[in-house]
């Protein structure tokens, strides 16, 4: 003998009940389904955003490593005075710092965009749910 829980059977049982003073169970079930769909969509957007941030972070790391390798090779190969090498190193440091700041800003913007999209889905659903509750109370 197997007992399996089937939510659809339970919802059919609830919707078939007609009790005075209770809200429309089908409307309630539909609202809950829309709530779950909004949460699923928001989670999917958040996960896609996290993956995009991870991918971009790896691209940045690879780019920085390639540039560092090239800079070290160019410093070692150049036959210049100590002052010229120091100036070249300072320029490399300045460029690396500016790029690091720009990369951090880019990553922050990716995170903000991703979070904004996910929160937007939830906010829209919350506003819809409030309207649904108002309509249920009226009936």
18-45 pLDDT, tens digit per residue, is: 555 555 778 778 888 999 999 999 999 9
pLDDT at residue number 38: 94
| Residue 4 clears pLDDT 70, i.e. is over it | no
Q: Is 6 inside any structural domain?
A: no
In a domain, 23, yes or no: no
Instruction: Flag whether the pTM goes above 0.75.
Output: no
Domain range for residue 139? 47-139
pLDDT of residue 139: 66
User: Residue 58, Cα to own-chain centre: how many angstroms?
Assistant: 17
pLDDT value, residue 5: 66
Q: Does any domain span residue 67? A: yes
**pLDDT, tens digit, for every residue of 54-84?**
999 999 999 999 988 888 888 777 677 888 8
In a domain, 98, yes or no: yes
Q: What is the pLDDT of residue 15?
A: 64
Given CA atoms 95, 98, 104, 105 in this order, what sign does their dihedral have? Answer: negative
Residue 15 lies in a domain: no
d(CA 103, CA 100): 5
CB count in 10 Å sphere of residue 91: 11
Q: How many domains does the chain have?
A: 1
Nearest to 103 by CA among 52, 61, 50, 49: 61
Residues of the chain by 3-state class (helix, strand, coil), percent to 5:
85, 0, 15
- The pLDDT value given to residue 56: 95
User: Stretch 111-134: mean pLDDT, rounded?
Assistant: 92
Q: What is the pLDDT of residue 8?
A: 76
Whether 28 is covered by a domain: the verdict is no
Comparing 108 with 26, the larger pLDDT belongs to 108
Angle 25-129-34 from CA coordinates, rounded to 5°: 70
Within-domain flag for 85: yes
Classify residue 42: in a domain, yes or no.
Answer: no
């Amino acid at each position: 003998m197997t007992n399996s829980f089937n939510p659809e059977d339970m919802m059919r049982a609830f919707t078939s009940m007609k009790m005075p003073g209770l809200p429309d169970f089908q409307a309630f079930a539909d609202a809950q389904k829309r709530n779950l769909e909004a949460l699923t969509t928001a989670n999917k957007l958040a996960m896609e955003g996290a993956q995009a941030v991870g991918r971009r972070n790896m691209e940045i790391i690879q780019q920085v490593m390639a540039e560092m390798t090239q800079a070290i090779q160019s410093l070692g190969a150049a036959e210049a005075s100590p002052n010229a090498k120091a100036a070249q190193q300072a320029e490399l440091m300045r460029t690396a710092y500016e790029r690091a700041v720009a990369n951090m800003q880019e990553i922050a913007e990716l995170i903000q965009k991703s979070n904004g999209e996910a929160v937007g889905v939830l906010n829209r659903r919350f506003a819809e749910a409030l309207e649904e509750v108002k309509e249920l109370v009226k009936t």
